[in-house]
Structure 1
Amino acid sequence: MSEKESTNFLYPFIDAEERDAAVLLTDLASSARGKAAESARLQRASLDEWGEQVTAAGTLMAERFGQGGRLYTFGNGGSSTDAATLASLFSRPALGRPVAAWSLAADQAVVTALGNDVGFELIFSRQIIAHARSVDIAIALSTSGNSDDLMTALAEARKRGLLTIGFAGHDGGRMATSEDLDFCFTIRSQSIHRIQESHALVGYRLWSAVQDHMARPTPHPATSRTGESR
C-alpha cells in the first residue's frame, strides 16, 4: 500500500500536497471537530433508540449475575478488543460490584488451536460448549452483524439457554433478524470508527444498568408480629 493510499480515506487534504502549514493545521483541526461532532451525534441517537432496551437487558443480566451467572464476550479484529474492554469493565470495574466476565478472544492459544483444529467459524462456539451454563450471558460485537463465527456461537448460546446480546452496525446484518438474540443494539452508521465508538458507550450504559439493578436493596421476607417468616 502506498503512502497516498494509506492516508487518503482519513485525510484527503493531506494527499492534495498542501504546502501551507497553517492551512493544513486548520484542515486537520476542522476534520477532528467534524468527526467528534458526528460521533457525539451518533452516540446520542443510539442511546435515544436503544436506551430502554439497554436498561431491560441490564436488568436481566443483573438477575443472572445474582444467580451466579457469568458473562462471555467475543468479536473479531477491533471488535475483539472492544469485547475484552467490555469484559474487563464488568470483571474489574473502577467502582461498583465486580462480576464474572471473560473475553473468549483473549486467550490466543485457545483461539488459534481451535481455528487450526476445528475451523475458524467454531472458535467461539466451542468455548461456549466447554464453559457456559444456562444462567450465563453471551455478548457478541460486530460492526457488520454478519460474522459467521459470531452467529454460530450465538446459536449455540441460545440452544444452551444463555441470555444473548448483539452489538452491530450499519443495518444490523444477520444479527438484527436472528432469532438467536434476545437483544441487538445496532448503530446506524456506515463508519466502522463511529460504530465502535458508539458500541463503547452503549456497553458502558449496559454495565451501568447492571450496576444500578444490583445496588438495589434485596427485599426481605415479610415477618409476622412474632418475627417469624410467613
Structure 2
Amino acid sequence: MVIEELNDHQQLIIKVIEQRTADIEQACEMIVSAIQGGNKVLIAGNGGSAADAQHIAAELSGRFVKHRKALPGIALTTDTSALTAIANDYGYDHVFSRQIEALAKPGDLFIGISTSGNSQGILNAFKTAGDIGCKTLGLSGWSGGKMNGLCDLNVIVPSEVTARIQEIHILIGHILCKAVDDLF
C-alpha cells in the first residue's frame, strides 16, 4: 500500500512537470506582481483546501524559508464570526465573496482552491473578486470545472483523486511562497 501511494504521487508529479510548469510559472508571476505592487493575497477553500489556504497565508504573513518582512496573506477561512454570520444571513455560498467585497481592492490577488473546480462559494468569490478588479488564481483538479471561466489562471492538477490533488496544491503553494521569498 505505501509503495502504491508513493508511486501514484510520483507519477502525478511527473505529469505536473510535463503539463503544468508554464501555468505554475505564470502563477508565480501573479503573486510576485501583487506583492511588488503593495497588494494583498486573499485565499479561500473548503475542507482540506481551507487548511491549504491557511497554510499559504501563514507562509506569507510569517515566513516561508528565509527571514523577510511580513506580507499581507489573508485566509478567508479563519474568522468564525464572519463565516457563521455570513452563512446565516446570506447562505454558505457567500462566505468568501462577502469577505472579498469587504477586504479586497483592485490589484489584490485572490487565490481560490477547489479540488473539483466547482465549489459554489469559491465560484462566487471569483466573480466578486473579478468585479472588484482583483487578479484571480485558481488551484483545481479534474478538468478545472467551472473555475476555468472565472479566473485569470486556473492551475489544474491532472488527477481525479482528491488526496493527490491536495498534495500538489500545497506543493504549488510552496512554490508560490518561494517565488515571494526570492523577492527579498
Cα shift at 1:159 = 1.0
- Counterpart for residue 86 of structure 2: 114
Cα shift at 1:59 = 1.9
Deviations 1:151-199 (A, max 9, x none): 01101101111110001111111112x1x31111111112111110111
Secondary structure, aligned partner of 1:124: helix
Q: Which runs of at least 4 in structure 1 moved beyond 4 Å after TM superposition?
A: none
RMSD between aligned residues: 1.4
1:197 to 167, 171, 179: 167
Q: Specify every segment of 5 or more residues in structure 2 that has no aligned partner in the other structure, as ranges.
A: none
CA distance in 2, matches of 1:43, 1:75: 22
CA distance in 2, matches of 1:92, 1:162: 23
Q: Please say if 1:150 is aligned against 2:129.
A: no
The letter of the residue matching 2:89 is D
Secondary structure, aligned partner of 1:123: helix
Is contact 1:54–1:209 with CA below 8 Å preserved after alignment? no
Q: Please say if 1:51 is aligned against 2:33.
A: no
- Counterpart for residue 210 of structure 1: 180
- Counterpart for residue 163 of structure 1: 135
Question: Cα gap change, 1:205/1:47 in structure 2, threshold over 3 Å: closer, same or farther?
Answer: farther
Question: Cα gap change, 1:44/1:210 in structure 2, threshold over 3 Å: closer, same or farther?
Answer: farther
TM-score (norm 2): 0.93
User: Structure 1 vs Structure 2: percent identity of aligned residues?
Assistant: 31
Secondary structure, aligned partner of 2:117: coil
- Counterpart for residue 3 of structure 2: 33
Secondary structure, aligned partner of 2:100: helix
Secondary structure, aligned partner of 1:170: coil
- Counterpart for residue 70 of structure 1: 40
Q: Please say if 1:80 is aligned against 2:50.
A: yes
Is contact 2:31–2:176 with CA below 8 Å preserved after alignment? no
Secondary structure, aligned partner of 1:184: strand
CA distance in 2, matches of 1:48, 1:103: 30
- Counterpart for residue 173 of structure 1: 145
- Counterpart for residue 14 of structure 1: none
Bigger RCO (CA 8 Å, 6+ sep):
2
Cα shift at 1:84 = 0.8
